[in-house]
Amino acid sequence: MSKSPNLLLPALGGTALVLGVAFGLMNRDYAADKIDTLEMRVDQVSTQASSAAEKAKVEAARAAELEQQVAEIQAAAAKQVAGGTLAEPAPQIEGRYGLGRAALAEEIAAWDVDVLPDGRGLPEGSGDVWTGEEVFVDYCASCHGDFAEGVDNWPVLAGGFDTLANEDPVKTVGSYWPYLSTVWDYVHRSMPFGSAGTLTADETYAIVAYILYSNDMVDDDFVLSNETFNDVEMHNAEGFIVDDRADVEYAEWSVEPCMESCKDEVSITMRSVFLVETPPEGGSNSVMNPAKVDDLPSFTAAGPSFIPAAATKPAEAPAPQVTEVAVADDGDALLKHGEKVFRKCSACHAVGDGAKNKVGPQLNGVMGRIMGSVEGFGYSNVFAEANAAGKVWTPEEMAAFLAKPKSYIKGTKMAFAGLKKDEDLDAITAYLASFAE
Amino acid sequence: MDDIFKPSRRAFLRGSAALAAGGVAGAAAADTPDQLITELQDWASYTGVGVDETPYGMPISFESHVVRRNVEWLTASPISSINFTPIHALEGTITPQGCAFERHHSGAIELSKLDYRLMINGLVDQPLVFTYEDLERFPRENHVYFCECAANTGMEWAGAQLNGVQFTHGMIHNMEYTGVPLRTLLKEAGADISADKWVYVEGADASSNGRSIPMEKALDDVLVAFKANGEALRMEHGYPVRLVVPGWEGNMWVKWLRRIEVTDMAVESREETSKYTDVLEDGTARKWTWEMDAKSVITSPSPQMPITHGKGPLVISGLAWSGHGKITLVDVSKDGGITWETARLGKQGDTKALTRFYLDMDWDGAPMLLQSRAMDETGYVQPTKEQLREKRGENSVYHNNCIQTWYVNAEGIAENVEVS
């Protein structure tokens, strides 16, 4: 331990002690011949004391500064606590915790089997192409095929050269893998699937030699060993670049995002290829989606270009609760069909006894009535204009309207795509005509 | 078809009743008293189930459809495969472990704490072996992080493929991890932590799934985790110990972590060369594309979550995340990207964790093209599929963080589509 008060004690306390010592020395009764020495000593001590005082000042200033910082940190922490986001990292101690035990050489040898791109880590051994073929057929072919061509969804190991720029690149050991070490390491450590770690070094050299042969990368008399390993040139060794997204993408895409009029029009270019069913027992089944893009609207800032007709699977579509509808004539097939068709309308329109306006106007007595004339209903401008012009709902007008509402009268609020079939149009007009005022 | 895609009959009746009663504004009126209210119900009269009926509870039977699901034809075998988190049916941000997506390369293994060993070797002063108990004696931290498979949304490069957000975006989960910073273990072994060094990590399963992590990241926020959401890791998430590599692709989050090796170069393992690399249009490939860029998706409405209540108040709910930090902004478009509105963040998300966003709207029943667009604290804005294809072509599989579009029709049914 140091005896220097400057080092031993905190700044202010240390200075007081030094001055105290100097005072004590001066009050003692010493021989005259020691006075000079003592005076010199006093000078030294007071010099020390004043330097200590100077240092103390600096330290006091530093302490105040630190206190200020602590206060700031505490304030920030309190704010974070209030916001619920304060987290303190786990303490780091200099030195070690003394946990764990030394790994033994045998243990490291058992687990540290990875092979580096330059071949470090390869054990001694060798294997030739023909031995490789035999081992491959025994251990690998059930998934990868006799010629490394892949069975079902299992990986293809050979071929695929010059396909990487295609839409469906075939990424094999030959066409894609940049390092031979990866092949050796993976086969040795993680293959065969279901018996990983059971291949000897020689078997692994042989299998890898055969995979290279399957890719036309070596001749049939090739022997792969820890010594020939670095002679093999991988086809796609130069085919990789290190992540450059920061330069190529981030810079360009880190801009103020557009909020309005970002495009003029948006149309749907592709619908989901698969509809996915999810059975209660788990998993899923996917089936092709038969729907076409043409059935869907395009969009502008004003909204969708049209409202598509009811769902393609009517059985599963919501069945709106129909308000009481009085059917004029049970025996009339046309009216019965019309009643069915009206279900498409009944979410918004009521007809029959006591029918009231809903999202759309009530439709009792609509045939022969002047357009836009139902009391208490807020019509769109276009129907108000039709009303002013005295236009009348005839069966023909109604059929034309219901076939293509949005083009019949541009600006209608009615969100209905229209009826495609003539029989539906005939039925609905007959059905509506059956309800008097 | 399963109920999950087909809103229940009861939901339809409820929705259409509201429609029939006006459905524009204000509460719906009832014609007849609701028997669920006026009549004494069994559950209000009989006693329920006692404690300990299920010592470790499962969700109530009504929620049994909210499960992980796979798509069989995607992979050769369920042993080396993936399934999807039911993100359409979850809310908030934390993913329960029991329905968090699984990705195994050689199946999930049963490894007990007693049999667990973690070795740290390579460029270290003292190679060490830790038991599970040793790990619990180091100072530990708690952090919420998302884990996203690099292949999430990968099928969608070629166009709109699978009709469900669970399938297009479900290779993600978000949990609160408890663990020891990797740097603590590196220091314990006296590792060479100079910037040009690498940390190679591997698992105890048959695949071993080795990955190389640059030293800078290893010293930053990587955790050696043994708990998730307060409980032990589930088997399928790497019990008893997994690596957590915040913001970086899920494949690096090695499960059943058994070895940490300090090396002087990347190992260039199978998972970082032949897989998880991004083939560009000209056939060259990007490697070491570790960070998961900012991304978002609307989880409801979505194909598995149609609007069943008709017009009126509608909650648009979604998730946003970024491997580069916090989400600062999410915008929503209802017209396929012509106009955008800023969404409300449910709660300011943690860095590299899921953030929930909402847009509360009054739906007029008109079809919509719903999209969401995230921005993170670096100022990066989630790109469109077109922007991504322009840079990378269509040969990629991984790292697709494009803006997703749902077409919602007048009946509230949503479909996965691609737009101009």
Query: pTM of the full predicted structure?
Result: 0.74
Closest Cα of chain B to A5: distance in Å? 35
Rounded to an integer, what distance in angstroms lies between the CA atom of residue B287 and that of residue B266?
11
Query: How many residues belong to chain B?
Result: 420
Rounded to an integer, what distance in angstroms lies between the CA atom of residue B185 and that of residue B260?
9
- Supply φ then ψ for residue A31, to 5 degrees: -60, 150
Q: Tell me B388's DSSP state.
A: H
**Cis preceding linkage at A257, omega within 30:** no
What are the C-alpha distances in Å from B161 to residues A105, A165, A275, A429, B164? 52, 22, 8, 42, 9
- Supply φ then ψ for residue A85, to 5 degrees: -120, 10
Closest Cα of chain B to A181: distance in Å? 8
Are B293 and B322 in contact, with CB atoms under 8 Å apart? yes
Rounded to an integer, what distance in angstroms lies between the CA atom of residue B258 and that of residue B275?
22
User: pLDDT digit string (tens) for A383-407?
Assistant: 888 899 889 998 888 988 998 887 8
Is A106 at the interface with chain B, CB within 8 A? Answer: no
Is A107 at the interface with chain B, CB within 8 A? Answer: yes
Rounded to an integer, what distance in angstroms lies between the CA atom of residue A251 and that of residue B295?
17
- Which chain A positions have a beta carbon within 8 Å of B291's beta carbon? 245
For β-strands B257-263 and B117-122, DSSP reports them as parallel
Residue from A272, A274, A351 whose CB has the most chain B CBs within 10 Å, to mutate: A272
Closest Cα of chain B to A34: distance in Å? 57
- Supply φ then ψ for residue A56, to 5 degrees: -60, -40
For β-strands B257-263 and B198-203, DSSP reports them as antiparallel
Is A274 at the interface with chain B, CB within 8 A? Answer: yes
Is A118 at the interface with chain B, CB within 8 A? Answer: yes
Residue of B nearest to A108 (CA): B121
Question: DSSP letter string over A359-428?
Answer: SS---TT-TTSBTT--TT----HHHHHHHHTT-B--HHHHHHHHHSHHHHSTT----------HHHHHHH
User: pLDDT digit string (tens) for B93-151?
Assistant: 999 999 999 999 999 999 999 999 999 999 999 999 999 999 999 999 999 999 999 99
Is A294 at the interface with chain B, CB within 8 A? Answer: no
- Largest Cα separation within chain A, whole Å, is 144
Closest Cα of chain B to A253: distance in Å? 6
| Phi-psi region at B283: left, alpha or beta (left = phi > 0; alpha = psi -120 to 50) | left
Asked if A284 lies within 8 A of B71 by C-beta distance, the reply is yes
Q: What is the mean pLDDT of chain B?
A: 92
Please check the confidence at residue A94 and state whether its pLDDT lies above 80.
Answer: no
Partner residue opposite A277 with nearest CB, options B1, B23, B258: B1
User: pLDDT digit string (tens) for A223-276?
Assistant: 999 999 999 999 999 999 999 999 999 999 999 999 999 999 999 999 999 999
Q: Give residues 17 to 56 of A whose Cβ lies within 8 Å of B.
A: none
Q: Of all helices (H) and strands (E), which one includes residue A82? A: helix A35-83
- Which chain B positions have a beta carbon within 8 Å of A99's beta carbon? 130, 134, 137-138, 188
Please check the confidence at residue B15 and state whether its pLDDT lies above 70.
Answer: no
Are B201 and B243 in contact, with CB atoms under 8 Å apart? yes
How many A-B residue pairs are in contact by the CB < 8 A criterion?
A: 361
> C-alpha angle with apex B60: B58 to B66, nearest 5 degrees?
80
Are B359 and B344 in contact, with CB atoms under 8 Å apart? yes
The model's confidence at residue A130, banded by pLDDT at 50, 70 and 90, is: very high
ipTM of the assembly?
A: 0.89
pLDDT score recorded for residue A356: 84
User: pLDDT digit string (tens) for A138-147?
Assistant: 999 988 998 8
| Residues in contact with A34: Cβ distance below 8 Å, sequence separation at least 6, in sequence order | none
CB atoms within 10 A of CB A368: 12
Asked if B137 lies within 8 A of A280 by C-beta distance, the reply is no
CB atoms within 10 A of CB A3: 6
Rounded to an integer, what distance in angstroms lies between the CA atom of residue B400 and that of residue B402?
6
